[in-house]
Amino acid sequence: LEIKKALVTGGAGFIGSHLVDRLVRTGCAVTVMDDLSSGSVANLAAVMDRIDFIEGDIQDDALLDKCLPGCDTVFHEAAVVSVTRTVQEPVSSARINDLGTIQVLDTARRHGVRRVVMASSSAVYGDAPQLPKTESMTPAPMSPYAVQKLTNEYYADLYFKLYGLETVCLRYFNVYGPRQDPSSPYSGVISIFMTRARDGQAPVIYGDGGQTRDFVFVEDVVQANMLAATHPDAPGRVFNVGTSQSVAISALWHSIAALAGVSADPRHEAPRPGDIRHSLSSIQRARDALGFQPVVRFEEGLRRTFDWC
Ligand code: UD2
């Protein structure tokens, strides 16, 4: 399958903008819709003159209607991406993450879009003890964010079965890389630790640092999106996107401190409420069905992120 024209919601964000870069490189027409609530046009600087950029919110159905004509593919990356914010604002975040998503799906259906690839999250697994997390496990959402993403998946499945809209959901694990905004207190631990290391400051580790995460480099996430958008076996399915390897948070700080040449000891604070202890993906389904294989090794990804930071 070929992508000729794509809409990327949230295309000015961390993950969305890398996806836009790739789509532009492959020669397809790209429209970006982003309300710039967490994204930034600076992320699109290299491609701005080759895309259509529409500033606006996915709840604005008239605007979505203008973006969709001629699109064969939609990548839906727009969301309130902070778990903490959804805990503080369950209603307004549901408007964006749930109603906004249904609006994207329905507009895509009405315009005869072939496929919609949606950003879901490993958050849907909650803190279930079974490792690695496989897509066949029963979800156990523990935050509004996780419930919202799981709801998105159910709608995606429904739109596939009910209307024949080809939908694919990608459950991202901990994505990292350049453009992950380090200034937000809700940002990913890697961008926070790198900013600290760069400034010669000690980081805060919540809990004992023995919690582990499956960190996947943003370019590998882009690869998963491209496969999900083009592979004939993808529609109607959910796929983990991770590396099947995990790193402890205290070891992560050691790696970053070594990269930066600093030796500050972390300060430990109480564990974050609701923090998951271990997170590790099985990516067998994406590998078997789509040929997905992450290629950026953790050391390389860290170095490339640090070079950017
Ligand atoms: C990630 C995703 C989130 C959701 C969730 C699903 C990111 C940024 N967030 O949350 O969207 O999908 O997974 O479970 O990818 N930590 C510190 N010090 C800091 C910051 C973080 O010790 O300054 C710890 C934190 O307590 C946690 C780990 O580092 O144990 C990772 O934190 P995170 O915020 O990067 O990501 P996570 O896994 O909470």
Report pLDDT digits (tens) over 114-170: 999 999 999 999 988 899 999 999 999 999 999 999 999 999 999 999 999 999 999
Q: How far is the CA of 212 from the centre of ligand 1 (A)?
A: 10
Verify whether residue 145 is a known catalytic residue.
Answer: yes
Nearest protein CA to atom 3 of ligand 1, as residue: 83
Question: Please, what are the averages of pLDDT over each run of 10 residues along the chain (309 residues)?
Answer: 96 98 98 96 98 97 96 98 92 98 98 98 94 97 96 98 98 97 84 94 96 98 98 98 98 96 94 90 98 98 95
Whether the CB of 181 sits within 6 Å of ligand 1:
no
pTM of the predicted model as reported, rounded to 2 decimal places: 0.97
- Ordered DSSP codes for the chain: ---SEEEEETTTSHHHHHHHHHHHHTT-EEEEEE--SS--GGGGTTTGGGSEEEE--TT-HHHHHHH-TT-SEEEE--S---HHHHHH-HHHHHIIIIIIHHHHHHHHHHTT-SEEEEEEEGGGGTT-S-SSB-TTSPP---SHHHHHHHHHHHHHHHHHHHH--EEEEEEE-EEE-TT--TTSTTS-HHHHHHHHHHTT-PPEEETTS--EE-EEEHHHHHHHHHHHHH-TT-TTEEEEES-S--EEHHHHHHHHHHHHT--PPPEEEPPPTT--SB--B--HHHHHHH-----S-HHHHHHHHHHH-
Q: Residue 11: its pLDDT value, please?
A: 98
Ligand 1 atom showing the smallest separation from residue 180 Cα: 8
Mutate to test the pocket of ligand 1, among 174, 275, 302 (most ligand atoms within 8 A of CB): 174
